[in-house]
A and B are shown apart, each in its own frame.
Chain A
Amino acid sequence: MRALTNKFWLPPLILVISLSLLLMLLPDLLGVKAVVLWTDRFIYLLMAALIFLVAYIRHKPHLRQPWRQIVNNRRALIAIVVLCAYVCIGLLDSIHYRQPLPSHGKTDQVEKLYSVEVFSVFDAALSHLRERIEKTYSEPFAYQLYAKETLDAPDGSQYRAFPRLKYGAAHLSNPAEQRGKDILLKALSGAAQGLLIFSVIFLCLLIYLARRQSSSLMQSWRWYRQSASAMGLRVVMITLAILIIGAAIIWKLSFFYHVFGTDKVGQDVLYLGLKSIRTGLVIGTLTTLIMLPFAILLGIMAGYFRGWVDDLIQYIYTTLSSVPGVLLIAAAVLSIQVYMANHPELFESVSDQADMKLLALCVVLGITSWTGLCRLLRGETLKLREMDYIQAATAFGVGHFTIIGRHLLPNVLHIVLIMVVLDFSGLVLAEAVLSYVGVGVDPSTISWGNMINGARLELAREPMVWWSLVAAFVFMFTLVLAANLFSDAVRDAFDPRLTMRGQGG
């Protein structure tokens, strides 16, 4: 028999504890030194919160129901799969470590030395991209640089030509002729590998289905093919197949070519684009994390207490939202930058400092962006506080903050969720704009905004360097589109005006 106070939080707690243990023990086993940046901490916190939230949602039928509706929406499912892929990359990119330096045979050395460079797990996986740096710009799939240089001929004379790339298409002897065929072949073999990986995943799924439905593999295959309730699963698997095969092709090609070209200092643009994912996600999510307490607490308090509390909170947010946002952000970011520049001793390393700047940007964005949600929540609370169940709670002599926590908060959560998801894509775009203006993230932080900013000057160049911009655009567009599709579905599912008001009556 169920009890009224169900321990829904137990399984996620176990999961979170085991995950954090794993994170703590793994670096020692691998002999590297774990580095936890400030944004990493917040990301871990966010993940833990997310795990608890999922458990809470599963436990509450009124929350589970709209999610079921989202999962039945084809476009939303595709968006979720794409978002998950981004989140996976972002998470892998948030586990940082420092590699040990080779100890040069001095075995008696007590303290191990570690490199000052901070890498993430994702960097390790893409080391071939990170390490193969060309001299300067090169086009996607190019075998030579983008600019002519003066070269030394074997006979000692000098001539001007496009030099061959150090890494891009270096395995070809006569790239001008072989390249097209080679790319095709490599792509095909990449696709084949991707298909193989996908088939393994698919087989695992079928086995899992068969075990769960206690049927044969053929039966579960038939169920998968034909059942209407497997529609969502089919959509997920098709999206996954496209993603995996596409990723495998690019992965395979990236060993031999610069798929998106290289930038001014010869870095692989594909690598930059992928590394920017973490920055974008951090801005999109941490900002919300920082803004939510302000918005929720102040919004509900203003609506619930009214009177002078309401006046005060309203004055704060009307004032804040009357100041031009960009100006405020620019002022705050610049003053933080000056402070950081004057106190270099506060930071262990360059990446630490860059990370702090990213966090500061999130805080500044968060402080300037809570007013919209706060206003919405105030309005909703004003409406809710007149509801009879709030009056009934008052008639029981329940305290104010218990009423807020037990009656008001759960009833405005859908608004919070809708706003958070809607805000996310806006924030990702805001980062790009701010970095472009020059008040965004640290120039050493890889982000789409910085990529676009870097590409800006080269747009005027003839012939044009277009690939940085296009790459940043493609990565950002995919993320924002997925987020927007997802937020549409979330709004449709949670907006009470669009859903039926219970049954009965």
Chain B
Amino acid sequence: MTDKHSEILLQMEELSTWFGGRERPSRVVDKVSFSIRRGETFALLGESGCGKSMTALSLMQLVPTPAGRIVCGRVRLDKDDLLQFSERQMRSVRGQRMAMIFQEPMTSLNPVLTIGEQIAEVLRAQAQTNGDRKKIQTEVINTLAAVGIPDPARRFKDYPHQLSGGMKQRVVIAMALAAKPDLLIADEPTTALDVTIQAQVLDLLKDVQRQTGMAILLITHDLGIVANRVDRLAVMYAGQIIELASREQFFSASAHPYSRKLFAALPNMRKRDRQLETIRGNVPPLDSVFQGCRFVERCEQAYEVCHNTIPEWRRLSNGQQVRCHLYADGSSVDEQCFAGKNKSISTETSSAMPLVMQARDLRVHFPIRKGLFKRIAGYVYAVDGIDLDLHQGRTLALVGESGCGKTTAGKALLQLIQASAGSVHWSAQGQRQELTALKGKKLRRLRAHFQIIFQDPFSSLNPRMMVGEILQEGMRAQHVVNTREQRETMIDELLKQVGMPPEAKYRYPHEFSGGQRQRISIARALAVKPDVIVCDEPTSALDVSVQAQTLNLLKQLQLELGISYLFITHNISVVEYLAHDIAVMYLGRIVEKGPAEKLLNSPQHPYTQALLSAVPVIDADRDRKVIRLEGELPSPIYPPQGCHFHPRCPQVMEMCKKTYPPVSILGEGHEVRCHLLKQD
């Protein structure tokens, strides 16, 4: 597979890293081999817990000891065998020849040093000289400029907390690049960032690579990122690489059933009327001894051999490599056996369904208090006058970047946060109530009708309570059923409804995986028979395959029970799959809303257009013009004058800087707030 024209930079052979005791070690990295050529981008793709980060740490010899140890294998960087290097020699490799950037920019920087000092530190370590300060300073400024930090001469004296998330990640990249490494290991570099910022950072990496010719090892779980920016990739599953392919090969015809499933589990517009494909079961425990293929329990194409023979590498005719018995005879990808067979579900509901919740001019302003007497010095305009309509049995998606106030809006709707102004009407079963004026008992009694599902499945369940107790809580508080027997039967029903075994009620949350916990959260919300559920990014902490299960469940429950969802998310593909209506939020206000198909196919507001185009998509055939947004979301304390979006808008006009645009109605409930449309 070696290309004769490009030289191999890193060669990894049979690397194994084990964790835990000698009797039953967890083979977190199990005989992983791959090579990276100079100047290429190589992606390691896999779901959480598959060992991709640990592979990178093993490369750097940063495996946490004594828990983990590199058992065997060879890592060659150029001509050096890194595993033979002493810790002292490794120090000269790390940061100099191989640099690493991590997922969380907040924790990768030292908060008490200026960013300039932190970059200078790397430079000094590299030069091994104290150098003169001036020279290092100019170099720091050059590096900062190279990663696109505006005004670097002033910025290099800033502390990390003065920078936004995207800027911090740029600084982290600048630190990694300062030593001009041959190989940059990027471990989920954009997962913590918003789509628009994510696009900026990925472009930056590409630019830097073009200039310096370094190789990048990109570790990610996101197929979308891989689709646009890598040369070759490896798919990892349960500690092992199961497929090696070039990007074109992988995206035109991925070979391994697992890779196939990953594609099928991705939600998008075209799958709206179908259930998403899911992968049954769970990743096998890594301390088990595998007799056959490790994907066998979850594979729909598995046959007898798969259970008792460990698959070897097969090389397909086009050079793609895969560990799968399906290709035993060296045949190429057989499309027949992967034919999709999932249940279709009707999702069409009419927008004439009755309203269940209606927010008008909803505002949440958080006062900022300063000084001795806690005088109000200003406000955070988190939600600044939004109108939302939730219809029975329909899903309204609230889309926006983090910090735009969408979660606050959801919580204010449910009266979990006191609204500063505006009204929220709830109406069902012939009743109509204004919620913001209600207090105490009256509000508490109505709470059964509107529920919430949270983003983080780890913090949303009390770790000290059994699942049964968790599910009971709402029933008791709302007196849904009153006897113990009724409660027990209802718990069983709920667990069945969300696809969990009834024994689950005697177990504690920590015994479940993220996806299972999210099901428990859903069951908990269902326990009080709500009309409305606010789903606050319920799938953003989950892997693709688990996300598919959760989305299927939500969709199915909506069909069965006629619940209406307010789906808060930044993930456009989920919106495409699930939403009936969409509202796009920017800095506390809704800039565009309307029916999903209309809004997705012909977005009118420049921000919506940019947001949609920044989403990395895997359909290479779709010809797209990507609109790059500069800068980041402004602070909601000092929203810009006029249209909030004008500092970043590519089509900004003079008028935008002065007045906030009025609503333009484009028919069928499609509303846009932009001066561009009024002109037409």
Residues of A within 8 A of B (CB): 2, 4-5, 60-62, 387-389, 391-399, 402, 406-407, 410-411, 501-505
A408 to B337, CA, bound (A): 53
Asked if residues B464 and A396 are in contact (CB atoms below 8 Å), the reply is no
Verify if B469 is at the interface (C-beta below 8 Å from A). Answer: yes
A500's nearest neighbour on chain B, judged by CB, is B510
Verify if B473 is at the interface (C-beta below 8 Å from A). Answer: yes
Given that A388-B460, A396-B477 are known contacts, is A504 also in contact with B514, CB under 8 Å in the complex? yes
Verify if B335 is at the interface (C-beta below 8 Å from A). Answer: no
Verify if B589 is at the interface (C-beta below 8 Å from A). Answer: no
Verify if B511 is at the interface (C-beta below 8 Å from A). Answer: yes
Given that A4-B505, A61-B508, A504-B512 are known contacts, is A392 also in contact with B477, CB under 8 Å in the complex? no
Asked if residues A389 and B461 are in contact (CB atoms below 8 Å), the reply is yes
Given that A392-B524, A410-B464 are known contacts, is A2 also in contact with B477, CB under 8 Å in the complex? no
Asked if residues A60 and B464 are in contact (CB atoms below 8 Å), the reply is yes
What are 15 A-B pairs with beta-carbon distances under 8 A? A4-B472, A4-B505, A61-B508, A62-B510, A388-B454, A391-B454, A394-B416, A395-B447, A396-B477, A397-B443, A397-B446, A399-B444, A504-B510, A504-B511, A504-B514
Q: Which residues of A contact B452 (CB under 8 A)?
A: 391-392, 395
Q: Which residues of B contact A399 (CB under 8 A)?
A: 444, 477
Verify if B330 is at the interface (C-beta below 8 Å from A). Answer: no
In the A-B complex, list the 3 residue pairs whose CB atoms are closest, starting with the nearest: A502-B510, A397-B444, A397-B447
Asked if residues B459 and A4 are in contact (CB atoms below 8 Å), the reply is no
Query: Chain B 499-515 against A: per-residue CB contact (8 Å), 1 yes, 0 no?
Result: 00000011011111110
Asked if residues A505 and B513 are in contact (CB atoms below 8 Å), the reply is yes
Nearest chain B CB to A388 CB, angstrom units: 4
A53 to B386, CA, bound (A): 51
Query: Chain B 446-457 against A: per-residue CB contact (8 Å), 1 yes, 0 no?
Result: 111011101111
Given that A4-B466, A62-B464, A503-B510 are known contacts, is A388 also in contact with B459, CB under 8 Å in the complex? yes
Given that A4-B488, A389-B462, A504-B514 are known contacts, is A396 also in contact with B468, CB under 8 Å in the complex? no
Nearest chain A CB to B332 CB, angstrom units: 37
Given that A389-B460, A411-B462 are known contacts, is A505 also in contact with B473, CB under 8 Å in the complex? no
A394 to B473, CA, bound (A): 11
A60 to B463, CA, bound (A): 11
A393's nearest neighbour on chain B, judged by CB, is B473
B521's nearest neighbour on chain A, judged by CB, is A392
Verify if B528 is at the interface (C-beta below 8 Å from A). Answer: yes
Asked if residues B461 and A395 are in contact (CB atoms below 8 Å), the reply is no
Nearest chain A CB to B506 CB, angstrom units: 6
Interface size on B, residues (CB 8 A): 52
Q: Which residues in chain B, 94-149, are within 8 Å of chain A measured between CB atoms?
A: none
Verify if B20 is at the interface (C-beta below 8 Å from A). Answer: no
Asked if residues A502 and B463 are in contact (CB atoms below 8 Å), the reply is yes
Q: Which residues of A contact B451 (CB under 8 A)?
A: 395-396
Nearest chain B CB to A310 CB, angstrom units: 12
Q: Which residues of A contact B448 (CB under 8 A)?
A: 396-397
Q: Which residues of B contact A411 (CB under 8 A)?
A: 462-464
A387's nearest neighbour on chain B, judged by CB, is B459
Verify if B458 is at the interface (C-beta below 8 Å from A). Answer: yes
A504 to B445, CA, bound (A): 36
A388 to B514, CA, bound (A): 15
Asked if residues A4 and B469 are in contact (CB atoms below 8 Å), the reply is yes
Verify if B358 is at the interface (C-beta below 8 Å from A). Answer: no
Nearest chain B CB to A504 CB, angstrom units: 4
Q: Which of B48, B465, B511 has the most CB of A within 10 A?
A: B465
Q: Which of B460, B461, B464, B465 has the most CB of A within 10 A?
A: B464
Q: Which residues of A contact B509 (CB under 8 A)?
A: 502
Q: Which residues of B contact A392 (CB under 8 A)?
A: 452, 454, 460, 521, 524-525
A505 to B506, CA, bound (A): 19
B542's nearest neighbour on chain A, judged by CB, is A505
Q: Which residues of A contact B474 (CB under 8 A)?
A: 396
Verify if B423 is at the interface (C-beta below 8 Å from A). Answer: no
A2 to B507, CA, bound (A): 11
Q: Which residues in chain B, 506-554, are within 8 Å of chain A measured between CB atoms?
A: 506, 508-514, 516-517, 521, 524-525, 528
A505 to B510, CA, bound (A): 9
Q: Which residues in chain B, 474-510, are within 8 Å of chain A measured between CB atoms?
A: 474, 477-478, 484, 488, 505-506, 508-510
Verify if B217 is at the interface (C-beta below 8 Å from A). Answer: no
Q: Which residues of A contact B506 (CB under 8 A)?
A: 2, 4
Q: Which residues of A contact B473 (CB under 8 A)?
A: 393, 396, 398, 406
A411 to B461, CA, bound (A): 12
> Other than the known A392-B454, A399-B444, what 14 A-B pairs have Cβ atoms closer than 8 Å?
A4-B466, A5-B484, A387-B459, A392-B521, A395-B450, A395-B452, A396-B477, A397-B447, A397-B448, A397-B477, A398-B473, A407-B462, A410-B462, A410-B465
A423 to B462, CA, bound (A): 28
Q: Which residues of A contact B468 (CB under 8 A)?
A: 4
A388 to B520, CA, bound (A): 13
Given that A502-B510, A504-B510, A505-B458 are known contacts, is A396 also in contact with B463, CB under 8 Å in the complex? no
Nearest chain A CB to B206 CB, angstrom units: 31
Q: Which residues of A contact B669 (CB under 8 A)?
A: none
Verify if B255 is at the interface (C-beta below 8 Å from A). Answer: no
Given that A62-B463, A395-B416, A397-B444 are known contacts, is A505 also in contact with B478, CB under 8 Å in the complex? no
Q: Which residues of A contact B454 (CB under 8 A)?
A: 388, 391-392
Verify if B414 is at the interface (C-beta below 8 Å from A). Answer: yes
Q: Which residues of A contact B411 (CB under 8 A)?
A: 391
Q: Which of A4, A61, A62, A395 has the most CB of B within 10 A?
A: A395
Verify if B49 is at the interface (C-beta below 8 Å from A). Answer: yes
Nearest chain A CB to B509 CB, angstrom units: 8
Nearest chain B CB to A411 CB, angstrom units: 6
Nearest chain A CB to B191 CB, angstrom units: 15
A505 to B470, CA, bound (A): 19
Asked if residues B445 and A397 are in contact (CB atoms below 8 Å), the reply is yes
Q: Which residues of A contact B414 (CB under 8 A)?
A: 395
Nearest chain A CB to B563 CB, angstrom units: 15
Query: Chain B 247-282 against A: per-residue CB contact (8 Å), 1 yes, 0 no?
Result: 000000000000000000000000000000000000
A410's nearest neighbour on chain B, judged by CB, is B464
Q: Which residues of A contact B477 (CB under 8 A)?
A: 393, 396-399, 402
A216 to B630, CA, bound (A): 79
A410 to B460, CA, bound (A): 16
Nearest chain A CB to B91 CB, angstrom units: 28
Q: Which residues of B contact A60 (CB under 8 A)?
A: 464
Nearest chain A CB to B518 CB, angstrom units: 11
Q: Which residues of B contact A406 (CB under 8 A)?
A: 462, 465, 473
Query: Chain B 418-454 against A: per-residue CB contact (8 Å), 1 yes, 0 no?
Result: 0000000000000000000000000111111011101
A411 to B444, CA, bound (A): 24
Asked if residues A62 and B508 are in contact (CB atoms below 8 Å), the reply is yes
A231 to B471, CA, bound (A): 41
A499 to B528, CA, bound (A): 35
A502 to B509, CA, bound (A): 9
Q: Which residues of A contact B462 (CB under 8 A)?
A: 389, 406-407, 410-411
Q: Which residues of A contact B505 (CB under 8 A)?
A: 4
Nearest chain B CB to A413 CB, angstrom units: 8
B411's nearest neighbour on chain A, judged by CB, is A391
A504's nearest neighbour on chain B, judged by CB, is B513
Nearest chain A CB to B416 CB, angstrom units: 6
A504 to B507, CA, bound (A): 13
Q: Which residues of A contact B514 (CB under 8 A)?
A: 504-505
Q: Which residues in chain B, 166-222, are within 8 Å of chain A measured between CB atoms?
A: none
B507's nearest neighbour on chain A, judged by CB, is A61
Nearest chain B CB to A500 CB, angstrom units: 10
B524's nearest neighbour on chain A, judged by CB, is A392
A195 to B488, CA, bound (A): 57
Asked if residues B508 and A389 are in contact (CB atoms below 8 Å), the reply is no
Nearest chain B CB to A474 CB, angstrom units: 38
Q: Which of B411, B454, B488, B517 has the most CB of A within 10 A?
A: B454
A393 to B472, CA, bound (A): 11
B474's nearest neighbour on chain A, judged by CB, is A396
Picked from B458, B460, B465, the residue with its CB within 8 Å of the CB of A501 is B458
